[in-house]
Structure 1
Amino acid sequence: MKENWLIPIGLTVLGLSLAGRAGAAVDYAHDGGPMDFGAAELEAALRVRPTQTRVELSVAGGGAPESFRVRVRGEGAAREIRIEGADAAGAMYGALEVAETIRLGGPAAVRDVERAPHLRVRGMKFNAPLDARTPSYSDPSDAAQQNIATMWDASFWRELIDRLARDRFNLITLWSLHPFPSLVRVPEYPEVALVDVQRSTVAWQEHYPLQAMGLDAPEILGRTETLRRLTIDDKIAFWREVLRHGKSRNVRFAVVTWNVFTNGIDPARGLPPDWRNNATADYFRRSVAALLRTYPDLAGVGVTAGENMVGATAPEKEAWLARTYGQGVLDVLAEQPERRVLFVHRQHEAGASEIAPYFGPVMNHPRVDFIYSFKYAEAHALAVTRPRFHEKFLPDLGGRQTMWTLRNDDVYHFRWHAPDFVRDFVGGLPAGPTRGFYYGSDGHVWGRDFLDANRPTDAPRPLELEKHAWHWRLWGRLGYEPGLDNARLTALLQERFPAADARLLFRAWQDASLVPPTVTAFHWGPLDFQWYVEGCQSRPEQAQTPTGFHDINRFISLRTHPASDMVSIPDFVKDPRKAGTTPPQVAARLDELAASALAGADRLQGAAGSDPELRATLEDIRALAYLGKYYAHKIRAALLLAQQRPAPNPARQKLLEQELNRAAQAWRLYGATAVTQYRNPLWTNRVGHVDWRKAYYSVLYDLTIVGATPAVPAIAPTPGGRVLEAEDAVAGDPQQPVHTEAAGYTGRGYLEFTHTLDPRRVTWNYDAPADGTYALEFRYAIRRGLVTTSDLIVNGAVLPLRLWPTGGAASWAWDRKIVALRRGPNRIELRPGAVVNLDHLNVLPWGP
């Protein structure tokens, strides 16, 4: 049996031989790695909850890799907690478990326990935008462009690795088209190595080829800026330290590539991205070997048979990969008798039965851990918990294991937390062939957050995984221990949000988080460019619309997930008695989830005043709930339209129009809530620009498709604020008459602005009860026109406020601007610059 590449790492201490440290709260053997990290977490917990209990941490040997056991003996001053790991990683996980127990319940809450990992590999898929010249698959996107410099930020990697370790992840897969010039100096091709770190300043197109070809075009690489001044030796030193830190936390790295790409190499060098070119093949073999020689802490490599191997048959692809990547690995193993290498071969444009004939020497090498990788849920892990795409793949494995690719190309913006979904998903992975998974995205880079609309542009950017901590925690923790119950997860929520009712937060958040999977299971576009639920869009070709927005027709034509029991609209119209979850039931389920989430968020609102993170979480819950309401109305409307077309009925037409107008109201709430927190539009590499405001035109166009005109219901003001009427702000001004023609206003009426160049302003004076953050919520109705940037002046500071269509002169909606106000008088001025009815300003307390 081959040795597992994940064990052992760090210092192994047999028995209970404890070196300890003078005055330390924890006795343990210093190893400069996982033991130190686990002990530090334990000591931090004991400083908060001190005890006379003696705590010992050791590697005892025996048991499964990464497993541990905790034993509690004695009482009072004689009480002793002994944490014994099968290896250093297991000891670290045991220390993390005990530290968490102590934080949540004190030392007395620690009990005897034994744990072993459910899945041996719990990894992260990270598309790494290293440089404009060595891009990732995700580079033509805001997420990548905003994170090129982040890839060369040591503090980012330390924070990321530490977070992943706490959440029981043990692998980071770094994905790149052609990473070698940014990572190594290849002795046979030294001139290929790149100095500095560059980013293109080109005016990017919205869409690039889905296979990532053309990212080395002259117009892209001919306009660059230098973000970091680094020699190749600097880069090597940097990544050696990153890998060393990962090893010290039991988080190994593997580099995964698509093929064949030679981005970053001067075309004059004669190394084209051509699998037929012998010089190119030699270059790749030497580069793989140089990568492994340069980084002794690198766990291994992964390959993709395709994306840019035009004209190659499956056997030709595998022969090329074997003579390049495979032979490069074998070259290093021949030189380094103690080296073990992980080799991941993706099943992408190749099958296991096609791979094995060419990779025999690699697969059978005693120091190669050769495993397959398969896209288990296509691009949408957040759809159903038991997909079946892998079933045709399993018979070809020949007894070898696989690492499942789990893709989240569903939720980039909103905080997500659905433990029951993840637990069932992990529990459904086939036991025999499963080594584990890596989880991540092709349409997003999980670097540092850049989407926060209310963070100053020059302020430090937190990790995406800090904002999305609960989402990622679920996959790591439940991958290690699916039995981790909701009571423990609720206690962790209570620890983080002490002022909130954690059980209520758990229910509301999970219900909101189940909206995207429910929708995507019903409206199934398997690949990332075929469906993105946060934007209701795809590439235009897949949407069958010019914008890529999925209109009411596409909600009729697109089928449901093949592993769900959901009945598609065409099938339901054909046979309303067909077994399964029907479209009306899907819509009702979305309504239930949304109602529960909104009710919970409203009840929790009082606890958010002093906690910005809780406030942001509640707003994300609301946004997802409004999105659920939108899709519920849209599914009902699509069903009505599918029934109406063959048998027109006036009563059904009226219901259809009502549903679409309510859908528009829900989208308007969704968009307004979302843009309060997030910069928009977002440019993605898979579906292009995600613009919630512009998408509203398409939302309204659904009414045109069915022969109706918009009559979008008015949106009520948000409770809890102080309403300052527009008409009161201009009382006595003959140039600002008060209007009452459009129903649904508050106060005595509203103000009309007649054209975009209307110079009139409205000025409010607001006496704030305290210094702090407030939301200025402007309620208005656009009579005609597009998205407009208005002049908003708060205490002399000019701030942009974007007004966008509402659906008509009486379709009142609101938009917010988050501002800092001082205690006492504040002057707020607005020149709308739009053809708009202005109702009022609602000033809402938002935070400290």
Structure 2
Amino acid sequence: MNLRPLILIVAGFFCLTMNGQSRGIYMSSESEVTKLALEKLAAQISFSKHDMEAINKTKTVDSKIILLNIEHDKSWIKKFKLKLEDIKSEGFQIINQDKDTYLVAFDDAGLMYGILELKDQLKLFGEDSKFKEKTENPHFSFRAVKFNLPWSSYRIGESLHLHMKTVKDTVFWEGYLDMMAEQRLNALTLWNLHPFTFMIQPEKFPEATQFSGQEFKDWQAFWRTLFKMAKDRSIETYIVNWNIITSPGLTETHNVANYKDDLEWHYGFTPADTSQVIVDYMRESITQTINEYPNLTGLGVSIGERMKMPMEEAMKWVKNTFVAGMKNANRKVKFIHRAPFKVEPEIAREYIESYTDTEGPIIMEFKFNWSHGHSTPNLAITHGGKVSDQYWNPKPSNYKMAWMMRNEDFIMLNWGNTEFIREHIKVNDFQDITMGYFIGSETYIPAKEYRMRPESNYNWKYAYEKDWEFYQMWGRLMYDPNTSDNYFIQNFKHRYGDAVGESLFRALQLGSEMPLRFSTYYKGTWDFTIYSEGFLNGKQLYRNYKEAEDAFIQIDEMITHETLDPLYLNIDNYNNLKLENKAIGDELVTPLEIAEEMEQNGLLILELCEQIQDKPSRNLDNFNIELNDVKAWANLSLYFADKLMAGIYLDEAVKTKNETKRQKAIGFLKNASKHWLDLVESTQQYQEVSLLHIRSFKFSWEMYYPRVLKDIEIAEAIKF
């Protein structure tokens, strides 16, 4: 099917000829936002200003697409006698009258989303289909990506630094921002330790300057291009950093913040040094950055590491640096404030609610279930471990909440589960207090594609292109949680063919349950405490550089490790209740129930894969990789199921000195080892990769097979 219609410029408007039928596109005014969206729709950008009056002057088209912006085109809306439903900022409505289609939006962003919706309908349903009428408004106003930068990075390691060249390439960003606009993600948050000397030459602190000459001009050009490209797609941009972290030049010149005795915290991390020179430098850098980059939407701050001070002192520091710096700038900007790790909301709220010099409400970011948001949709922990509703009860006066959905749990395999996202939004949307979500990782940058074997065949360039389901499902459902699964199924069919699309979608939905269940059963906190698709806990490698295999979660740890959701029982507690003949409430989730679900999912996934393996498909290279990914999830699900069953029997065997149950446990562990071998087979498309979860070691599923077998040894070594 030809999706690139012929475009003619006739009397100042577009004329699209599709299968012999011509459609004219009319609009009263043109902006960069709508121009780029029309480029996606019409596949050509060279056009003159659209003239709405041309509607009355030409009859050369069979049907018209008329684009109207409520802010500018009220008279035209009245002239066309359009009966509009309520349209909000970033919202749009598609109306069919006779042969013509009217796209009405509240603003440029809504017009862009509406134009991309028309393009989507042409893509999914064909050129001859009539546009489907609909009204869409954003459920959340803030739909953000968390993107950690590889320079001055929070973590260090090859898996981050290998992206340096790619992330500084504006060609990469053009594609990434296009993807964000297509999926209705409207905020790009860029995180690193100390961004300012990559952006400015501090006028009042020249000793802090990090770059000069052409090198600095290149950095300036990069940021200006990036912020302009984002603005042209109605995407906000934020620079977010971590607290009292300064430039090397300032540190060395003034002998401040020079904490160096902990090699795990690389140069640039600092203790709570509140020297006046640091306060002055940060305040001036913030003001200068805002003034020099007019397309930058806002800034953000996180007051965690190296701020070992009372909460009130930390909040004063933010007020004297970030807040004062924003106040002194030549324009107001938006502000992201991470909820402080120490749960003292009464102090934090008092300060934050006193900040009045920002544009719009402050965005208060909360880590949902710490670094592992893709777990239970119930809020069990935040960063620091405690949960308190005092940040939103009573209702805040000048800030709104945005949940941080960190993903440190699946990096290699494609993930997508619409049911989880919808349920998460349903449970955690606190009426008009929640303004949205951040999605993204701290240990994975979706830029350079470094995961695939050199001999693997695939048709994408950048890592985020492989991860398309993650962005599409989160972005579309944040915009409209009522988006049906049929929309996503149609996208699978468009990519891979009608014969395989729906089954592949269903298989991925089932497979994507595995990391959710695992990270709910096995409690993780900070980044390296759990990596679900690898079955790893890298915490023990953080200080002690031993063998990467030491990160593998063995059977004995599976039995006793604490669960994240208090409604989940671990094996130890489950067996204790059974052996004591105590009732297990219906509201509780047992390891037996999880094992049964995982086994059922795994078997059904493999059945679906078998059904579509030889059916006709398009984009065959990518299809085969996605098919292997869902097979990998199936094998992980079956491995998880058998390991849980083995743990149940082994724990009961030890507690009751029952040899029969020990033998059953060994049997389940042997079955589990077979599933792991199948997992290794289904992940042959990937090479060994650097993975921050295990520090300087490489990762592959194959390298952990000896530890899978060690579980059998552990069970066999138990004597009564």
TM-score range, shorter chain: 0.7 to 0.9
Given candidates 309, 313, 332, the residue that maps to 2:310 is 313
Structure 1 Cα separation of the partners of residues 610 and 499 of structure 2 = 12
Paired letter, 2:347? E
Structure 2 Cα separation of the partners of residues 557 and 688 of structure 1 = 28
Paired letter, 1:176? N
Paired letter, 1:156? F
Who is 1:447 aligned against? 447
CA gap 1:383/1:359 in 2 versus in 1, 3 angstroms = closer
Preserved CA contact (<8 Å) 1:634 1:659: yes
- Aligned residue runs from structure 1 range 122-137, under 5 A: 122-130=143-151, 135-137=152-154
Who is 1:254 aligned against? 238
- Partner-residue secondary structure (3-state), 1:395: coil
- Partner-residue secondary structure (3-state), 2:351: coil
Given candidates 67, 71, 90, the residue that maps to 2:110 is 90
Q: What's the offset of the Cα at 1:318?
A: 0.9
Preserved CA contact (<8 Å) 2:451 2:689: no
How far does the alpha carbon of each residue in 1:271-323 deviate from its partner, in whole angstroms, 9 at most, with x for none?
Answer: 5345321111111111111111111011101111121123x111111111110
Given candidates 628, 641, 646, the residue that maps to 1:619 is 628
- Partner-residue secondary structure (3-state), 1:677: coil
CA gap 1:550/1:27 in 2 versus in 1, 3 angstroms = same
- Partner-residue secondary structure (3-state), 1:378: coil
Preserved CA contact (<8 Å) 1:443 1:686: no
Rg (Cα) greater in structure: 1
Structure 2 Cα separation of the partners of residues 490 and 512 of structure 1 = 16
Structure 2 Cα separation of the partners of residues 453 and 531 of structure 1 = 25
Paired letter, 1:536? F
Matched, 1:147 2:163: yes
Q: What's the offset of the Cα at 1:32?
A: 3.8
- Aligned residue runs from structure 1 range 161-240, under 5 A: 161-195=177-211, 230-240=214-224
Who is 2:77 aligned against? none
- Aligned residue runs from structure 1 range 218-617, under 5 A: 230-265=214-249, 267-270=251-254, 271-272=256-257, 273=270, 274-310=272-308, 312-332=309-329, 336=330, 339-350=331-342, 351-359=344-352, 363-365=355-357, 367-389=359-381, 392=389, 393-395=391-393, 398-399=396-397, 400-429=399-428, 430-454=430-454, 462-498=461-497, 500-541=499-540, 547-562=550-565, 565-576=567-578, 577-579=583-585, 580-606=588-614, 607=616, 611-617=620-626
CA gap 1:52/1:269 in 2 versus in 1, 3 angstroms = farther
CA gap 1:235/1:455 in 2 versus in 1, 3 angstroms = farther
- Partner-residue secondary structure (3-state), 1:72: strand
Q: What's the offset of the Cα at 1:100?
A: 1.2
How far does the alpha carbon of each residue in 1:462-510 deviate from its partner, in whole angstroms, 9 at most, with x for none?
Answer: 2222000011110100000111101121111111112533221221121
CA gap 1:537/1:424 in 2 versus in 1, 3 angstroms = same
Matched, 1:635 2:644: yes
Paired letter, 1:320? W
Where does structure 1 differ by over 6 angstroms across 4 or more consecutive aligned residues? 542-546
Who is 2:124 aligned against? 104
- Partner-residue secondary structure (3-state), 2:189: strand
What count of residue pairs does the alignment treat as equivalent? 638
How far does the alpha carbon of each residue in 1:500-551 deviate from its partner, in whole angstroms, 9 at most, with x for none?
Answer: 3322122112111111112221122233221111221123439999712211
Preserved CA contact (<8 Å) 1:417 1:510: yes
CA gap 1:237/1:29 in 2 versus in 1, 3 angstroms = farther
Structure 1 Cα separation of the partners of residues 555 and 416 of structure 2 = 29
Structure 1 Cα separation of the partners of residues 446 and 650 of structure 2 = 40
Matched, 1:668 2:677: yes
Structure 2 Cα separation of the partners of residues 115 and 194 of structure 1 = 47
Paired letter, 1:153? D
CA gap 1:552/1:285 in 2 versus in 1, 3 angstroms = same
Q: What's the offset of the Cα at 1:621?
A: 0.6
How far does the alpha carbon of each residue in 1:1-58 deviate from its partner, in whole angstroms, 9 at most, with x for none?
Answer: xxxxxxxxxxxxxxxxx99535464222453422112222222499xxxx93211122
Q: What's the offset of the Cα at 1:455?
A: 5.2
Paired letter, 2:552? F
Compare 523-532 and 297-306 and name the one that shifted more.
523-532
TM-score (norm 2): 0.83
Compare 52-61 and 153-162 and name the one that shifted more.
52-61
Who is 2:52 aligned against? none
Who is 1:646 aligned against? 655
- Partner-residue secondary structure (3-state), 2:110: helix
Paired letter, 1:246? A
Preserved CA contact (<8 Å) 2:37 2:115: yes
Structure 1 Cα separation of the partners of residues 460 and 116 of structure 2 = 27
How far does the alpha carbon of each residue in 1:124-149 deviate from its partner, in whole angstroms, 9 at most, with x for none?
Answer: 0001112xxxx2213x2333111011
Paired letter, 1:575? L
Who is 2:176 aligned against? 160
- Partner-residue secondary structure (3-state), 1:306: coil
Calculate percent identity across the aligned residue pairs.
Answer: 23
CA gap 1:627/1:401 in 2 versus in 1, 3 angstroms = same
Q: Which has the higher strand share?
A: 1
- Partner-residue secondary structure (3-state), 2:363: strand
Paired letter, 2:584? K
Structure 2 Cα separation of the partners of residues 279 and 461 of structure 1 = 48
Matched, 1:53 2:59: no
CA gap 1:29/1:427 in 2 versus in 1, 3 angstroms = farther
- Partner-residue secondary structure (3-state), 1:652: helix
Compare 594-603 and 267-276 and name the one that shifted more.
267-276
CA gap 1:506/1:610 in 2 versus in 1, 3 angstroms = closer
Compare 18-27 and 571-580 and name the one that shifted more.
18-27
CA gap 1:686/1:352 in 2 versus in 1, 3 angstroms = farther
Q: What's the offset of the Cα at 1:353?
A: 2.5
CA gap 1:696/1:108 in 2 versus in 1, 3 angstroms = closer
Who is 1:764 aligned against? none
Stretches of structure 1 lacking an aligned partner (at least 5 in a row) = 1-17, 197-228, 710-848
Preserved CA contact (<8 Å) 1:28 1:35: no
CA gap 1:671/1:511 in 2 versus in 1, 3 angstroms = same
Structure 2 Cα separation of the partners of residues 540 and 36 of structure 1 = 49
CA gap 1:19/1:127 in 2 versus in 1, 3 angstroms = farther
Who is 2:95 aligned against? 71
Preserved CA contact (<8 Å) 1:536 1:549: yes
Preserved CA contact (<8 Å) 1:304 1:348: yes
CA gap 1:687/1:573 in 2 versus in 1, 3 angstroms = farther
Paired letter, 1:585? E
Paired letter, 2:118? V
Preserved CA contact (<8 Å) 2:407 2:440: yes
Structural RMSD (CA): 2.8
Compare 503-512 and 79-88 and name the one that shifted more.
503-512
Q: What's the offset of the Cα at 1:685?
A: 5.2
- Partner-residue secondary structure (3-state), 1:575: helix
Stretches of structure 2 lacking an aligned partner (at least 5 in a row) = 1-9, 17-23, 46-60, 72-85, 258-269, 382-386
Q: What's the offset of the Cα at 1:358?
A: 3.4
